[in-house]
Amino acid sequence: MRYKDCFDKERRDFLKVVKHAGIAAGLIQASSILAGVMLARTAEAQTGTPTKHCLVFSGGGCHPTRWFPSGSTLPAQSAPLQSHYSRIALLRNASLSGAGHGVMFHRFNNGSWSEDSFDVNLGRTIGANYPVKYLNVGTTAESALSREGFTGRPLITSPQAALDVLFSGGGGGGGGGSGTAPRQSVVDLHYAAINSLRTKLGQHEKDKLDSHFTAIREIETAIDTGNTGGSCPQLSNTTASGFDATAKLHADIVALALSCNLTASASIAFGTDAHTHFLDVLGRESHQSHHNQGNMPAAYTEDIVYMQGLTKYLLDKINDRGLFGSTIVTQVSDMGDADSHGNSNVPMLVAGAGITGGRVVDIGGKTQSELYQTIGLKLRADQSPNGAVYRRWATSTLAGL
């Protein structure tokens, strides 16, 4: 049999699974949302197949000799990532188009004023059928990190606002969502509309309809109480004060959104490329140490260690929720050496599903453009049902990831 693309084959394979499981076709036809939930569970069972992505911005660059290991032990600035190094590929000799302050859109979309950034484009392609197409959160107000065409998408800096996008039907705005409360019961969502047809049905059809609704309830209960990570409880604490608490709460929210199938594309920004964010844990604005490395070499390393500690926190949460089998995490920065706003030796990394970790990969001066192209193809965004809108960042990819 010939298939239109790999997703068409997976859809047909999924329908075969449904058939062999003895699930009535009428039940699937009664609720496309139910079918979507079941398909998502099937996809998650395919460990090692990337289906989701999280893009991390970590401002401040690095000092190469304190970032790249010569063996298996990470040096000072990347040391917080040691526990996840087996999952991580560090990219050596990575360049950045437009390094420096104030050109944030260069980070996620390679400087175009009129095209989607990577997180938004993934939302249009692999994330098109998720409740929230893309979720872009961050610690510090910044315009144009994410871009939807000509429009810069402001970061969601309020954790409560991010949760509202995910759970309260507020899917517009920065989250790019559909507006449907994702954990509303399928039965409750459709019952009023379908129940209005009961007056036109005979008793036999009414009994079948009731049977379908009962079956849907049972499947919902099984999903929510089973060991599939299906329940999506809102976080008990949604208030945060200060940079550190806000960063970690947003990381919790990103992990929650990915694990609950609320989105397939998330981005999180730790700080801003202006380096004006105040690191409350360290008691200083990050810019102070970045341009005074001669007088404050230990302080600059301390800043980068702290920032990578936030990335570690996010990776911990992703690991705790069992997402490394389905999710790729990519980290980019705004420069290499912060003192000179360098374009070279930019600290980029990629980790997770489908990535061979525990190593350094020399990419020979290529930029985030080639990295995005590589990850987009690994996620098969070009082959998705909306593959026609997939934006190609470069004609070449990074070999060996």
Please write the tens of the pLDDT for every residue from 93-111. 999 877 777 677 788 888 8
Q: What is the pLDDT of residue 229?
A: 39
Q: Across-strand partners of 58? A: 270
> Are residues 35 and 148 located together in one domain of the fold?
no
**Please, where are the H alpha helices in 168-265?**
186-195, 203-225, 243-259
Structural domain count of the chain: 2
Among the candidates 170, 196, 229, a domain finishes at 229
In the numeric block, which tokens belong to residue 330? 């990519």
User: Do residues 354 and 323 both lie within one domain?
Assistant: yes
Low-confidence ranges of the chain (pLDDT < 70): 1-48, 102, 143-144, 168-202, 204-206, 208-209, 211-234, 236-237, 292-296, 339, 342
Phi, psi of 93 (to 5 degrees): 60, 35
- In terms of domains, do 96 and 196 share one? no
For residue 396, being part of any structural domain is answered with: no
Q: How far apart are CA 117 and CA 98, in angstroms?
A: 15
Whether 225 and 111 map to the same domain: the answer is: no
Question: Tell me, what DSSP letter sits at residue 235?
Answer: P
**Which residues neighbour 368 within 8 Å (Cβ) at sequence distance 6 or greater?**
94, 96, 97, 107, 110, 332, 348, 393
Indicate if 71 and 188 belong to the same structural domain.
no
Give which of 365, 353, 283 is closest to 323, Cα–Cα.
353
Residue 401 falls inside a structural domain: no
> SS3 helix, strand, coil % of the chain, rounded to 5?
40, 10, 45
pTM for this model (two decimals): 0.78
pLDDT value for 275: 82
Same domain, 38 and 95: no
What are the distances in angstroms from CA 362 to CA 91, 93, 198, 366?
Answer: 6, 6, 65, 9
Residue 242: C-alpha distances to residues 74, 252, 283 (Å): 29, 16, 11
Left if phi > 0, otherwise alpha if psi is -120 to 50, otherwise beta: which for 15? Answer: alpha
Helix H segments across 64-183? 105-109, 118-124, 159-167
Dihedral sign of CA atoms 378, 384, 387, 389 in order: negative
Residue 293 lies inside a defined structural domain of this protein? yes
CA distance to 69, 109, 313, 387, per residue, from 66 (Å): 8, 28, 20, 40
Domain of residue 346 covers 48-183+232-389
Residue 205 lies in a domain: yes
The CATH number covering residue 155 comes to 3.40.720.10
Picking from 205, 229, 253, the residue at the C-terminal end of a domain is: 229
The reply to whether 221 falls in a domain is: yes
Is residue 212 located within the same domain as residue 319? no
Residue 399 lies inside a defined structural domain of this protein: no
Residues 121/125/126/128 CA torsion (nearest 10 deg): 100
Please check whether residue 10 lies inside any domain of the structure: yes
Give the pLDDT of residue 79: 97
pLDDT at 192: 59
Say how many residues make up the chain. 401
Query: Do both 39 and 138 map to the same domain?
Result: no
Q: In this structure, is residue 397 part of a structural domain?
A: no
* DSSP H or E stretch at residue 285: strand 284-285
Last-in-domain residue among 170, 203, 229: 229
Do 126 and 255 belong together in one domain?
yes
Q: What is the pLDDT of residues 132-156, one digit of tens each?
A: 999 999 998 875 689 999 998 889 9
Give residue 179's pLDDT: 37
Same domain, 165 and 308: yes
Euclidean distance between the first and the last CA atom of the chain, given in angstroms as a whole number: 31
Same-domain check for residues 163 and 53: yes
The pLDDT of residue 94 is 93
Q: Are residues 221 and 141 in the same domain?
A: no
Q: How far apart are CA 121 and CA 115, in angstroms?
A: 9
Query: Which amino acid is located at 63 in the chain?
Result: H
